[in-house]
Structure formats: C-alpha cells, structure tokens
Amino acid sequence: MARSPGLRRALGGTDRHLLLAHLVVPGVGALLWVLLTAPALPSSTWWCSAVSVLGAVLVTYRLATRPPLSYDLTLYDTGLGPMPLNLIRELSRGPLLLVLVVVAQLAIVG
C-alpha cells in the first residue's frame, strides 16, 4: 500500500493487514456518503447505493496497489512531444474502474 518497502516493514504486519487497514477509512467514508446522499436522489435504489460503495472501495484499492510508473518504454511521438505508450494505461488503472462503476449505475437506474 505504501509503495515503500522500508515504510511497510516499519509499520509491521503483513501486506494484507495493511491493505485492509487502509481500505477501512475509504469504505466507511463511502458508506456514510451514500447514506447521507441517497435520500436526496428520488430514483436511487439500494442496488445503485451498493454499487457506489463497492465501486469507491475498489477504485481506492486499484489506485493504491498500482505499480510505480515506468518511463523506460517505447516512446510515441505526438504533436506535443514524445510520450511513453503505456503511460495512459498505467494512469487509467483506477479512474477507468470508476468510469465502469458509473456506467453500471446508469444501467441500474435507467
């Protein structure tokens, strides 16, 4: 979770314990947010609320566990300068899942 082996060793425990501890705060925050805002949405269903909470925790997990960015890949020359080909894929690891969660919510509501 910390992307730093020294920090993980200093905190103690296993990677799984650290992962669960770091997901508690976003999970509780997402649950409280959904509980407070769901009554304001007349078309909200419990399915949509569950997808919101689960999606927030999964996006947080994906962002926290993504490997460090690698800049030593093949470069693609764009009009704005060279760009590593995998940079977009590496940066979209969490936000892409967020887009899929929104699409799932729209499918549930609509």
pLDDT tens-place string over residues 88-110 = 777 777 888 888 888 888 887 76
Asked whether the beta carbons of 59 and 105 are under 8 A apart, the reply is: no
User: Which string of DSSP letters, residue by residue, matches 23-84?
Assistant: HHHHHHHHHHHHHHHGGG-TT--HHHHHHHHHHHHHHHHHHHTPPPP---S-EEEETTEEEE
H/E segment holding residue 31:
helix 15-37
pLDDT tens-place string over residues 7-24 = 777 877 777 777 777 788
* Domain ranges across the chain: 5-109
- Say how far apart CA 13 and CA 84 lie, in whole Å: 36
The answer on pLDDT for 47 being more than 60 is yes
pTM exceeding 0.85: no
